[in-house]
Amino acid sequence: MRIKLGEAERVIVKTRQHRRVLTRPACLLLLLVAATGFGAGWLGRDGLPEWLEDILPIVYPSLLGLCALLILVWSVVPYARWARTWYYLTNRRVLIRTGVGARSLRELPLVLIRELIVRQTMMQRSVGAGHLVMITADGETILENAPGVHKLRELVLDAIEELPRSVMFDGVELETEQQMDWAAPEGRTPDGKPHV
């Protein structure tokens, strides 16, 4: 799914979640490999009880299969989700593209954003990441674990500031002032007719 840009629309930022979200899956991968290696080594030693040696042809492949399944669920899937989630900021909207097999695209026009909030944990603050919460009349949209979250917030605010005023106010052109004669000579209405 490619991002289709409108006329005069340009991408300001294309990013994904901060790579710190991969810390847990990477640690789990190392622990699973180490635990499986230890378990396979323990099962391969001499002096196992006879009942365990009898079922060893079942236990050994089961151990490897369980390890492979846990690696898939705890490490590969989170990595694939991280690799296939993108955040886009254009001069008109914010887009969130997600999905590994089936993909989805969520877009939020900048004109709908009423408030921007940055939420950071202590760990996120140490690497400059955080959640950028964009509040609209319909609820909130969150860019989770966005890298450089304060800079991203500034870029969103700048993009909102640069929106044409006609887009911001539903087609009313506010850039030009209308000439109105509010002061009328005494005894006359503003259109020049005498008071009755």
Mean pLDDT (whole number) for 146-170: 86
On whether residue 113 sits in a domain, the answer given is yes
- The per-residue pLDDT for range 180-192, each reduced to its tens digit, is 454 555 656 555 6
On whether residue 18 sits in a domain, the answer given is yes
Residue-range definition of the domain harbouring residue 69: 9-170
User: Of 79, 77, 85, 110, which Cα lies nearest the Cα of 10?
Assistant: 110
Confidence of residue 107 (pLDDT cuts 50, 70, 90): very high
- The per-residue pLDDT for range 110-143, each reduced to its tens digit, is 999 999 999 999 999 999 999 999 999 889 999 9
- The count of domains in the chain is 1
On whether residue 4 sits in a domain, the answer given is no
- The pLDDT assigned to 99 comes to 83
Length of the chain as a residue count: 196
Of 59-73, 88-102, 114-128, 159-173, least confident by mean pLDDT is 159-173
**What CATH number is attached to the domain comprising 16?**
2.30.29.30
On whether residue 2 sits in a domain, the answer given is no
On whether residue 30 sits in a domain, the answer given is yes
- The pLDDT assigned to 157 comes to 95
Higher local confidence (pLDDT), 132 or 3: 132
Over 31-58, what HEC string results?
HHHHHHHHHHHHHCCCCCCHHHHHHHHH
- The pLDDT assigned to 1 comes to 55
On whether residue 49 sits in a domain, the answer given is yes
DSSP state for residue 120 in the 8-state scheme: -
Estimate the share of the chain in helix, then strand, then coil, as percent rounded to the nearest 5.
45, 20, 35
- The per-residue pLDDT for range 34-86, each reduced to its tens digit, is 999 999 888 888 888 888 888 888 998 999 999 999 999 999 999 999 999 99
On whether residue 196 sits in a domain, the answer given is no
- The pLDDT assigned to 109 comes to 94
On whether residue 3 sits in a domain, the answer given is no
